[in-house]
Amino acid sequence: MEHSGSRRRERKTPPRGSPGVVGPPCPRPQALQAEPPHGHLVGVIRGLTQSLLGVVVILPASAFSLSLDRPARVLLRRSRPLPPRQDPAMPAPQCASCHEARAALRRPRSGQALCATCFCTAFEAEVLHTVVAGRLLPPGAVVAVGASGGKDSTVLAHVLRELAPRLGISLHLVAVDEGIGGYRDAALAAVRRQAARWELPLTVVAYAELFGGWTMDAVARSTAGSGRSRSCCTFCGVLRRRALEEGARRVAATHVVTGHNADDMAETVLMNFLRGDAGRLARGGGLGSPGEGGALPRCRPLQLASQKEVVLYAHFRRLDYFSEECVYAPEAFRGHARELLKLLEAARPSAVLDLVHSAERLALAPAARPPPPGACSRCGALASRALCQACALLDGLNRGRPRLAIGKGRRGLDEEGPPGGRGSHSRPDPRLRSPSPASRDSSSPLGSDDVGVRGRL
Amino acid sequence: MCEVGEDYREPAPAGPPPPRPSREQKCVKCKEGLPVVVIRAGDAFCRDCFKAFYVHKFRAVLGKNRLVFPGEKVGCGTASRRRPVPAASRTPGLGGGAGHVGGAVPPVVFLLPQVLLAWSGGPSSSSMLWQVLEGLSRDSAKRLRFVPGVVYADEGAACGQSPEDRAKTLAEAKLVLQTVGFPWHIVALEEVFSLPPSVLRCSAREPVGTEGAYKAAVDSFLQQRHALGEQSQPCPQHPQSQVGPPPANQTEALSRLFNSVKTLTAKEELLQTLRTHLILHVARTHGYSKVMTGDSCTRLAIKLMTSLALGRGAFLAWDTGFSDERHGDVVVVRPMREHTLKEVAFYNRLFAVPSVFTPAVDTKAPEKASIHRLMEAFILRLQAQFPSTVSTVYRTSEKLVKAPRDGCAAGTPGPRCLLCMCVLDVDTADSATAFGAQTFSQLPQTQPPVAQAEAPTVSSCCSGMGGARRCCRPEEEEEEEEEEDPRAHVTEQLCYGCRVNMKDLPSLDPLPPYILAEAQLRSPRAKAEQQIQEYLLEDHEDAARPGES
C-alpha cells in the first residue's frame, strides 16, 4: 500500500512507546532521559546496586515492561545480559532469539527484542506458516505476484522469492499500468528495477491497451465533469482486477497473490460496516478466494502481518520501493477508516488483529450474501447480472455517461434507454476474463475487489 | 458519504438548499399543529404527532418481535404469588386448554410474563421506563401485556465515588422509582462478591414458540380474561428495599479490582460483564423471564463498532440484536433500539421524563482513553458529517444472524465463554487465522536458521494455549509454573474478546470468587479428577490403588 514517505519512519515509535533500542551501538546516555522518569530512577538504583554487587539488576518496573504480557516480559528479561558490561548505564538488549547479536528492533506486536537477521527470519517464517497452514499455494503453482512498486508488494515478492524453493512454486511479477501520469511511471520504474535485481520475469499490462485507450487520467477527466471525483477509484479497482487477471493468464499462472496486510483487512471491515456493505462483509474475511468459474484462485499471504512489520522488514532488507500516495485519492472514504484504525491501535495495540479476527467470524444472513454468479453476456466472465462490472463501466465511459453502472438504480446496458453518446471507442476485448462478480460501488483510494479488500497490488 | 447504493446518477442538485422550517410551516404529519421539533432533515412534527410517532415505534418494536406474550401456568387455584416455575410456565399455548376452572383438574391459568427493566438513570432507560408506564395504563385493548419490575445497579464504587455522593444519587433514584410505582430492586455492584457460580451457567430454556403459538397464547389469554372477568394479576410483593450501604470490605475489594485493571477499555468491559451478571442474578432470583435494557439506536451502533474492534465479531448479533438468549432462561430484550438519541432527548425534554445523572467509569476521560470513547467520538463526528451513518450501521446490524461459524457441526454447540457466555469462537486447530498468528508469534525462536524448517511442526503442536504451551517452552516452566497455571486454566475458557481483556488484568485474584470458582469447576483437570474420584482412597498421600472401593 502506498503511503507518504513519512511512514518509513514509523518504526521509530513502536506502539508500546519505548524508544532507544534502535541506533548505533555506543553508550547512549540520552536513552535514559528518553525513558519515563520511573525508569531513570530505577537506572540510578541499578547503578548503585551494580557498584555494590557487581551484577546488573534487571529493570522489572519500567513502564515499558509493564505493558508487555508475561511471556514477552520473560523474554525481555532474558534478553538482558547477565555479566556486567562495559556500559553500566544502558546495556543494550540482546536478541532474544540468537542471544548473540545486539537487538536492533522490538517487534510491534510482542515487544520482543530481536536482531535484524532474526526478525527477518521470523517474519518469513510467519508468512510461510500462513501459506502452509492455509494451504494457499500448493507445490508446483505458478504464482503471479501483483506488483505495484509499493512496500507491500515489494515485501511480498521478496519473501515469496525467499520461500519459493521451499514451497516449490515459481514466481512472475505482473504490474498494472493505469496510466496515471507522474505517479505510475515512477512506480513502474521501481518494479522494473526489482525485477532486474531479483531476476524475476515481469509483465506489464496497461489499461490503455486492454480497455480501448481508456487510461485513468482519461477516466478522471470524464467523471470529473459530473461533479464527484470519488468514483474514479471505483473504475480503477474494477479495471485493475481485470487487468491483473489478464496479466496472470498471459504468463499462464495458476494463482494470483496480492500484498494486502492485516491493517488493510482491518480497515476494510470497519469501512464496510460504516458503509453498510453487507455483501462485501459476507464475502470477505477469509484468507483469499478459491476462484469460481474461470477465475484464478487469489490469496493474500501477508494478511496476518502488521503493516509496521512490513515496513520494518523492508527497512532491514534494504528493499527499494516507491512510497507515495495515488494522486486521485484526496477524500476517499477509506481515509476515515484508516484514521480510526490508527487511533484504535494507539489505545490497544492488538486492535488490528482483533479486527481481523472479528472479520473472520462475522455471520451474515443468507439474504445479504451476493447471488451466485452467472456469465457476462459480452465477455463471458463471471457476472451477477447480464453484464459484468468492467464491461458495464467501460460501456458507460464509451457512451459518455460514466456513472451509468454505478449506484443504486443502475441498469443493465442491454435494456438501456437512449443509445446516444460516442461510439467511436472500441468495445472491450471479449477475450478478457473477469474474476469478479459484478461488484458494487466502492470509493477506496485504490479501488475495490470482490473479496472485500482494496484491489490495489 | 460513499454509501453502498447511493445514487450517483444525477449530479448534485445545483438549486438553492431546501428552506428551513419557518414559523408558518405546519407539522408534516397532521398538517395542522405548529411544529416543535425537527426529526431528521426537514421533518417537523408537532407535539402530539411526535409523541404518537415515538410511542408507536416503541410498541411496534415489541409487537414485531413477538417475544413478550402471556405464558401458561398450571397451578393450584389462582396463583397468588407467581413463583418461578421455569419448566411449566413458559410454554405457550400448548394443549389449548383454555380455562378449566375448578374440579379435579388443576386449572390452567394464563399469566403475564414478568419483565425486569434495567434502569441506569440515564435518558434512554428513563424514557423506556416512562413508555412502559404509559403503556400499562392504557385501556384494556391496547395495554401492554406484562408485569414490570425495575432494577437499579449502584456502581459508585467502581467509578470511585465517595459514599456521600453515592447516597445522594441513591436518594434521587429512589424518588424517581417511587414516582413510577413499579416494584423496584436496588442492588450495589459490590454484591457480585456474593454471587453463586450458578450465575455463569446457562440454564435450559423452553423452545421459543412459533407465530402460531404467540397468537394462540394471546387469544387464550384474552378468552380467559373475558371468561373469568377482569382479575388484576397480583403483583409480586414489593421487595425489601436495600438494607443499607454494602459492607466496607466488599467496597474495598471492588475498588481494588477496578484499580488493578490497567486500561480503561478493560475496565469498561469488566464493569459491563459484572453488571450483566448481577442483573441476571436479580432476574433469576425474583422470577423474571425477560430483562429490558434501554439501548438506543445510536448507542447500539457505537456498541457494534466497538465490539468489532474488541474482537467480538462472532457475537455481534447477540450483543446488538433485539433479543439475546445466551443466558438460557432469561432473555435480554432491547425495545429502544430504533430510537435515536436525538429523539430520546427531545421526548424527555418535551414530556418531562425524570432521569438521574450518575457518573460512569469513563466520565471526563479524554477521547483517546479507551476504545469505547474513541468509537463514540468517531461515530458521532462522522454522523455530523454524514447524517446517515448511524442508521446505516444499524441496518447492517439487522442483517447479522446468530449462527455458528460455517463448518461447525450443527449439533453440539460447544463450550461457552466463562464471562460472556457465548459459544467460544477460538479454534486452536486452525492456525491460519488472526488468533493463530498471535499465539504463533509469541513462540521464541531459539535457533534462527533451523526454526524456519521447524516452524510448521512447531506451530501444530503449540497451537493451543495454556498447557500445550509448556511443551515448547520447557525453560519457562521452572520460573513460571506457579503463576501461569491459574491464569492459563481461566484464559482457555474465555472467548477471544474476553481473553484480550483479561490480558489487561495483571492478576486474577481480585476477581469475584464466583468467577474463579466456576473456572476451577470447568477446568479439564477438575473433570479428569472427577473421573478418578471413585478410585481414590481416603488417604490421598498414598498412591491410589484403582479398583478398590
B406-462 pLDDT, tens per residue? 544 455 667 888 888 888 888 777 777 777 777 766 555 443 343 333 333 433 443
Kindly state the cell numbers that stand for A422.
Answer: 460516442
Q: What is the pLDDT of residues B278-299, one digit of tens each?
A: 999 999 999 888 999 999 999 9
Question: Under an 8 A CB cutoff, do A74 and B480 touch?
Answer: yes
Question: Taking the domains of chain A in order of start, what are their residue ranges?
Answer: 117-370, 374-439
* Residue position matching grid coordinates 411496534: B60
Residue B305 carries which side chain, given as an amino acid letter? M
Q: Give the per-residue pLDDT at B198.
A: 85
Cβ distance B448 to A98 less than 8 Å, yes or no, reads yes
Which of A340, A348, A403 is closest, CB to CB, to B265? A348
Q: What is the topology classification, in CATH, of domain B66-89+107-398?
A: Rossmann fold (3.40.50)
Which tens digits make up the pLDDT trace of B150-174?
999 998 888 888 889 999 999 999 9
Q: Assess contact for B318 and B109: CB atoms under 8 A.
A: no
Which residue in A has a C-alpha nearest to residue B309's C-alpha? A355
What backbone phi and psi angles, to 5 degrees, belong to B114? Answer: -100, 130
Amino acid (1-letter code) at residue A328: Y
By the 8 A CB rule, do A214 and A395 touch?
no
Identity of the residue numbered B437 = A
Rg (CA), chain B: 27
Distance from CA of B105 to the nearest CA of A (A): 46
Q: What is d(CA A201, CA B185) in angstroms, rounded to the nearest whole number?
A: 74
Under 8 Å between Cβ of A37 and A80: no
Q: What is the pLDDT of residue A111?
A: 77
Contact status, residue A419 vs residue A404, Cβ threshold 8 Å: no
Identity (one letter) of the amino acid at A61? A
C-alpha grid cell, residue B198? 450458578
- pLDDT given at position A18: 45
State the CB neighbour count (10 A cutoff) for residue A185: 11
Low-confidence ranges of chain A (pLDDT < 50): 1-39, 47, 50, 54-61, 85-86, 408-457
The band of B50, judged by pLDDT with boundaries at 50, 70 and 90, is: very high
Which parts of A178-287 are beta strand (E)? Answer: 202-206, 255-257
Rounded distance between C-alpha atoms, residue B159 and residue B171, angstroms = 18
CA distance B494 to A386: 48
> Which residue from B154, B118, B122 is spatially nearest to B356, judged by alpha carbons?
B122
A 61-100 residues inside an 8 A Cβ radius of B: 66, 69-72, 74-75, 96-98
Could you give the CA distance from residue A275 to residue B5 in angstroms, rounded to a whole number? Answer: 9
Chain A residue closest in CA terms to B302: A274
Q: How far is CA A94 from CA A47, A81, A106, B210, B450, in A?
A: 19, 7, 11, 65, 19
> What's the gap in Å between the CA of A250 and the closest CA on chain B?
31
- B2·A360 Cβ contact <8 A: no
Give the cell for residue A452: 472485500
Of B489, B486, B479, B478, nearest to B507 (Cα)? B486
**Predicted ipTM of the assembly:** 0.76
Q: Work out the number of other CB atoms within 10 angstroms of the CB of residue A223.
A: 23
pLDDT of residue A407: 54
Note whether B309 contacts A358, CB cutoff 8 Å: yes
Nearest Cα to Cα of residue A436 among A287, A265, A240: A240
Given a cut of 60, whether residue B345 has pLDDT beyond it is yes
Helices and strands counted in chain B (H then E): 20, 10
Predicted confidence (pLDDT) per residue in B347-365, tens digit: 999 999 999 988 888 888 8
| Contact status of A318 with chain B (Cβ, < 8 Å) | no
Cβ–Cβ below 8 Å for A128 and B445? no
Return the ∠ at Cα B532 (arms to B528 and B537), rounded to 5°.
140
Cell of B176: 424517581
In total, chain B counts a number of residues equal to 549
Q: Compare all CA atoms of chain A with the CA of B8 and give the residue at the minimum distance.
A: A407
pLDDT of residue B281: 92
Please provide the DSSP assignment of A297-361 as one string: PEE-GGGGS-HHHHHHHHHHTT--------TT-SS-THHHHHHHHHHHHHH-TTHHHHHHHHHHT
**pLDDT at position B433:** 78
Of B32-36, B121-125, B523-527, the poorest mean pLDDT is in: B523-527
Count of other CB atoms within 10 angstroms of residue A339? 12
Residue A37 near chain B (CB below 8 Å): no
DSSP class of residue A14 equals -
Architecture of domain A117-370: 3-Layer(aba) Sandwich (3.40)
Question: What's the rounded Cα separation, in Å, for the pair B187 and B185?
Answer: 6
pTM surpassing 0.80?
A: no
- Cα angle B229-B67-B339, degrees, rounded to a multiple of 5: 110
Between B84 and A67, whose confidence is greater? Answer: A67
Specify the pairing of strand B147-154 against strand B114-119. Answer: parallel
Q: What is the pLDDT of residue B283?
A: 92
Closest C-alpha to B462, from B502, B431, B491, B434: B431
CB atoms within 10 A of CB A308: 22
Rounded to the nearest 10°, the torsion over CA A267, A269, A271, A273 is -160
Whole-angstrom CA distances from B281 to A96, B44, B196, B291, B510 are 48, 44, 9, 11, 20
Q: Is B257 helix (H, G, I), strand (E, B) or coil?
A: helix
What angle do helix axes A262-275 and A351-360 make, rounded to 10 degrees? 60
Distance between CA atoms of residues B239 and B349, nearest Å: 31
> How far is it, in rounded angstroms, from Cα A152 to Cα A158?
10
Spatial neighbors of B398 by CB under 8 A, at least 6 apart, are none
- The count of other CB atoms within 10 Å of the CB of residue A118 is 26
Burial of A172 (0-12, 13-18, 19+ CB in 10 A): buried
Mean pLDDT of B90-107: 45
Q: Quote the CA–CA distance of A86 and A27 in Å, as a whole number.
A: 9
Closest CB to B313: pick one of A98, A121, A361: A361
Query: Measuring CA to CA, which residue among B169, B420, B166 is closest to residue B270?
Result: B420
Residue A433: CB atoms within 10 A of its CB come to 21
Is A147 in a helix, a strand, or coil? coil
Confidence of residue B272 (pLDDT cuts 50, 70, 90): very high
- Hey, is B71 helix, strand or coil? strand
Q: How many residues does chain A have?
A: 457
**Residue range B104-132: average pLDDT?**
84
DSSP assignment letter at B436: H
- pLDDT attached to residue B23: 58
Among A88-92, B249-253, B520-524, name the most confident range. B249-253
Domain boundary assignment for chain B: 66-89+107-398
> CA of A275: which chain B residue's CA is closest?
B3
Question: How many CB atoms sit inside 10 A of residue B275's CB?
Answer: 18
For position A177, what pLDDT does the model report? 87
Percent of chain B with pLDDT over 70: 68
Residues 6+ apart with CB under 8 A from B307: A358, B313, B315, B316, B319, B320, B497
Handedness of CA A95, A101, A106, A107 (dihedral sign): negative
The alpha carbon of residue A394 is apart from the nearest alpha carbon of chain B, in Å, by 16
Mind listing the pLDDT tens digit for each residue in B191-231? 889 888 888 887 765 555 555 666 777 777 777 767 765 55
Mean residue pLDDT across chain B = 75
